[in-house]
Structure 1
Amino acid sequence: MVWQTHIIYALCKPPVCRFGELKKAVLRITNTMLTSTLRDLERLEIIYREQFNEIPPRVEYSITEKGRALLPVFFELAKWSDKYLDKE
């Protein structure tokens, strides 16, 4: 669940990201874990994957309306965390 949260958050800043951009935005994630998590989020219709028939191939990811609906939940969790969890 942690990786999904980071990826959804990363996709909210620029509306569209490529794999390499997400890899840079989500620190310490492996290529395998990023690929697996992107597939899971796509299957859940939280993100959209668009593949372009170009050479070299290009794939872009964006957040769906369903994914955007999660943002208020994330922001409330962040506020809760700031208020109740110790900062070490």
Structure 2
Amino acid sequence: MCILPAAAAAAAAAAGSGAAAAATAAAATAAAAAAAAAYKGPLYPLISVFFLQQQQQLLLQQDQEQQQQQQQQQQQQQQQQPTRAP
């Protein structure tokens, strides 16, 4: 089945940084996971684990990006607040 390597390659290629890349990688991973679910051959357990790991990595990346955005917003808010002299 040639769908699985192509989908895996698309997921790996899209695994860059940024929200658009994360969304593209998530879509590619979902498509590849659907193909893996339809496969049910001898490599099915390995393929399933691979796609679960990819999905977990994407979720962690999204969490890290959200934390960075929150930190940047907090820093901007702190910089915008005027300091009061006693």
**TM-score scaled by length of structure 2:** 0.33
More strand by proportion, 1 or 2?
Answer: 1
**TM-score scaled by length of structure 1:** 0.32
Larger Rg, first or second structure (1 or 2): 2
Greater relative contact order, per chain length (Cα 8 Å cut-off, separation 6+): 1
More helix by proportion, 1 or 2?
Answer: 2
